[in-house]
Amino acid sequence: SQELEQSPQSLIVQEGKNLTINCTSSKTLYGLYWYKQKYGEGLIFLMMLQKGGEEKSHEKITAKLDEKKQQSSLHITASQPSHAGIYLCGADISSGGGADGLTFGKGTHLIIQP
Amino acid sequence: EAQVTQNPRYLITVTGKKLTVTCSQNMNHEYMSWYRQDPGLGLRQIYYSMNVEVTDKGDVPEGYKVSRKEKRNFPLILESPSPNQTSLYFCASSSGTSGSLYEQYFGPGTRLTVT
């Protein structure tokens, strides 16, 4: 089974609406990263969360890590066409040592309808 | 400008013909890693390196080799490519000797097709 589950797999949202993407694991997330990817291109770092209950915001994007450090959400307020793309969550689920790098979810495809 | 570069960006080759995808970073990062991205499977780690001359297998190392002779370079070698290695490949680097706890910077990707 996938160690890091992202939902939904795809999302079509009307421009100006809010949306939320979730990233869930049965294991503790020692470092949780959100990336954005334009189709076929590289990954752009959005935010990193480490502490339970942590919340970070940048422009219209807010990411949260729950207290148990097993679930993170990415919330976009008043979506714009520039938000379209693939959102990926990546996390260290090994044991906090981090030597193995990140495990990634399969991604959420976000489409913004004008 | 801080960046991770990969070459080539696109490559079409035939089964069995050895190839190398280069990766270079200019941020003096200790940690470097290779991923492949496939539809429905997401990003999976191939190999990683915590420092010069130190490399380890990731989740899907079969059919790949790497080397880390210099800090800035981490080439990915396919000795005998097969069609199941057709994929989008990403190189990444981060500061520190850990793959997590620090932001990973990703290269632009190399789209490889093996016929």
pLDDT above 70 for B48? yes
How much is the pLDDT for B98? Answer: 53
pLDDT above 70 for B72? yes
pLDDT above 60 for B100? no
A100 and B58 within 8 Å at the Cβ level: the answer is yes
Secondary structure of residue A82 in the 3-state scheme: helix
Question: Does residue B43 belong to the interface with chain A, where contact is any CB pair within 8 Å?
Answer: yes
How much is the pLDDT for A29? Answer: 86
For residue B108, give the nearest of A41, A50, A107 by CB distance.
A41
CA end-to-end span of chain B: 36
Give yes or no for a contact between B36 and B104, defined as CB atoms under 8 angstroms apart.
no
Phi and psi dihedrals of A81, rounded to 5? -55, -30
Residue of A nearest to B91 (CA): A42
Please name the residues in contact with B39: beta carbons below 8 A apart, sequence gap of 6 or more.
none
How much is the pLDDT for B40? Answer: 84
Cα dihedral sign, A45-B106-A28-A85: positive
pLDDT above 80 for A5? yes
Separation CA A42–CA A8 (nearest Å): 21
Quick: pLDDT tens for B75-94.
999 999 999 999 999 999 98
Indicate the pLDDT class of residue A96, thresholds 50, 70 and 90. low
Cα dihedral sign, B96-A3-A54-A79: positive
pLDDT average, residue stretch A67-94: 93
Indicate the pLDDT class of residue B101, thresholds 50, 70 and 90. low
Question: Does residue A56 belong to the interface with chain B, where contact is any CB pair within 8 Å?
Answer: no
pLDDT average, residue stretch B35-56: 91
How much is the pLDDT for A98? Answer: 52
pLDDT average, residue stretch B14-27: 97
Question: Does residue B108 belong to the interface with chain A, where contact is any CB pair within 8 Å?
Answer: yes
Return the top range by mean pLDDT from A1-5, A55-59, B12-16, B93-97.
Answer: B12-16
At position A92, the amino acid (one-letter code) is D
pLDDT average, residue stretch A32-37: 93
Report the candidate in B54, B56, A13 with the shortest Cα–Cα distance to residue B45: B56
Beta bridge partners of A104: A90
Percent of chain B with pLDDT over 90: 77
